[in-house]
Amino acid sequence: MLKQRIFILFFVAFLPSLLFAQGNNRQKLPTMHIFVTVKKIWMGGEAKKLQPLLSHKISLNLGKQKGRYSKEHAIAILNTYFKEIKTTEFKYYKKKMQLTKASALCSYRLRRSGKKRLKIIYVYLVFDAKKRKWLIGGINIIG
């Protein structure tokens, strides 16, 4: 049973790199996971016109680098690796008297050594209906 769980965790961890790899470059393509935890998100207008702003302190995990970053530091780190961000899809699901869960699918273009690679980022948002504030649960960038 333990071996099956380890195999499942191993398979899930390396599945994105296997899906996005091409030919013999499977081990060369980078698989980057960035999880950003934000305390407060500003929502302008309706949920369809969501424009989140990062809060002052962001917990950012990039590979083996862990630490607390300010808003400016986190944006500078993300801009170092990614050139553009475009929201292609936004879906949200409401539950009465509970937090609203939302996920946004964005595409990033990686800027590294002059090559552009397509990155897929999953942004997990939670909306507090009482306080009317958006909370980011995590951002998962796969590619």
* Residue closest to 30 by CA, chosen among 124, 103, 113: 113
User: Domain count of the chain?
Assistant: 1
**Confidence class for position 45, pLDDT limits 50, 70, 90:** very low
Domain hosting residue 119, numbered range? 32-142
- In-domain check, residue 62: yes
- In-domain check, residue 45: yes
- In-domain check, residue 42: yes
Query: Average per-residue pLDDT in the chain?
Result: 40
CATH code assigned at 60: 3.10.450
- In-domain check, residue 21: no
Q: What is the pTM of this model?
A: 0.24
- In-domain check, residue 1: no
- In-domain check, residue 48: yes
Please state, as a whole number, how many other Cβ atoms lie within 10 Å of the Cβ of residue 17. Answer: 17
- In-domain check, residue 125: yes
pLDDT at 131 over 50: yes
- In-domain check, residue 17: no
